[in-house]
C-alpha cells in the first residue's frame, strides 16, 4: 500500500521560477518531440473547424498558433505572465486568439461553452482533487458533440502531483457514459486521447 500523501497542485510560483530560469523551459519552439506531438494533436482533431475553443495551459503559444487555424475563436490561458507575453507576441497577427492569465479549477470561463477544449501537458500539474474539479468544469462547458483533447508526457516527474497516465485514466473513467472515445494514441513518450461529448 502506498502511504505517500497526495501532492498539492503546483503553485504559480513554481512556474515563475521555471520561466525566470529559461524563456522556453520545455523547448516548445524547437524540440522535434514537441513538433511531432503538436502535429499529431492537430491531426487528431475530429473537425476541420471549431466555433469556440479553449486551450488550458498555453505556455508560450506554440500550439496555440496552430490551433488558431482551426478555430473561429480561441481562448488560451496560462498561470504565468512571462509565458503569456511570449504567446501574445507569437499570436499577435491572429485576431481570433484571446490570451488570459487564469488558473484552473479556481478560475474558469464559466460564462462560456466550447466545442473544443485542449488540455496539453498541464493536467499533471494539478492535485487529484483539483483535477477532479477541473474535469467536471471541462465537461460542463463542452457543447454536445464537442471535442476534448488530452495530451501528456507519460514519464514520471518527481515534482508533478500526478502522472500523465493518471490524468488520462481518471478522465476516461469520469466521462464514461457522457462521451464517445474517438482516439487513443500512445507513443514512447506521450499519450493522446480525444473524446466527443454525447
Residue 133 counted as domain residue: yes
Q: pLDDT over 90 for what percent of the chain?
A: 97
Confirm whether 1 is domain-assigned.
no
Q: How confident is the model at residue 88 (pLDDT cuts 50, 70, 90)?
A: very high
Mean pLDDT along residues 131-147: 98
- Distance (Å, rounded) from C-alpha 109 to C-alpha 59? 18
Q: CA-based diameter of the chain, in Å?
A: 53
pLDDT over 80 (residue 57): yes
pLDDT higher than 60, residue 2: no
Is a pLDDT exceeding 90 seen at residue 151?
yes
- Examine residue 125 and state whether it is found in any structural domain, yes or no: yes
Domain contains 87 = yes
Q: Is residue 1 over pLDDT 80?
A: no
Q: Examine residue 123 and state whether it is found in any structural domain, yes or no.
A: yes
**For the chain, how many structural domains are there in total?**
1
Q: Where are the alpha helices (DSSP H) in the chain?
A: 12-21, 32-44, 62-68, 81-90, 128-140, 164-175
Is residue 2 included in any domain, yes or no?
Answer: no
pLDDT class for 3, splitting at 50, 70, 90?
A: low
Average pLDDT over residues 108-129: 98
CA distance 26 to 6: 25
Domain that holds residue 78: 12-197
Residue 7 lies in a domain: no
Residue 4 pLDDT exceeds 80: no
Give the three cell numbers for residue 8: 498539492
- Is there a domain that residue 57 lies in? yes
Element (H, E) at 186: strand 179-186
In this structure, what CATH number is given to the domain that contains residue 124? 3.40.50.150
Amino acid at each position: 500500500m502506498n502511504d505517500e500523501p497526495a501532492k498539492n497542485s503546483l503553485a504559480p510560483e513554481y512556474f515563475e521560477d521555471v520561466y525566470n530560469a529559461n524563456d522556453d523551459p520545455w523547448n516548445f519552439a524547437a524540440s522535434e518531440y514537441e513538433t511531432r506531438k503538436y502535429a499529431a494533436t492537430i491531426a487528431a482533431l475530429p473537425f476541420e473547424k471549431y466555433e469556440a475553443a479553449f486551450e488550458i495551459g498555453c505556455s508560450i503559444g506554440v500550439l496555440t498558433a496552430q490551433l488558431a487555424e482551426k478555430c473561429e475563436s480561441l481562448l488560451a490561458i496560462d498561470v504565468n505572465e512571462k509565458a503569456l507575453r511570449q504567446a501574445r507576441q507569437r499570436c499577435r497577427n491572429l485576431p481570433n486568439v484571446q490570451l488570459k492569465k487564469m488558473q484552473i479549477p479556481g478560475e474558469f470561463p464559466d460564462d462560456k461553452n466550447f466545442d473544443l477544449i485542449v488540455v496539453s501537458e498541464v493536467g499533471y500539474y494539478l492535485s487529484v482533487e483539483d483535477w477532479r474539479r477541473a474535469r467536471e468544469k471541462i465537461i460542463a462547458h463542452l457543447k454536445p458533440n464537442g471535442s476534448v483533447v488530452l495530451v501528456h508526457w507519460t514519464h514520471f516527474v518527481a515534482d508533478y502531483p500526478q502522472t500523465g497516465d493518471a490524468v488520462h485514466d481518471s478522465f476516461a473513467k469520469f466521462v464514461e457514459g457522457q462521451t464517445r472515445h474517438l482516439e487513443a494514441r500512445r507513443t514512447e513518450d506521450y499519450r493522446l486521447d480525444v473524446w466527443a461529448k454525447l
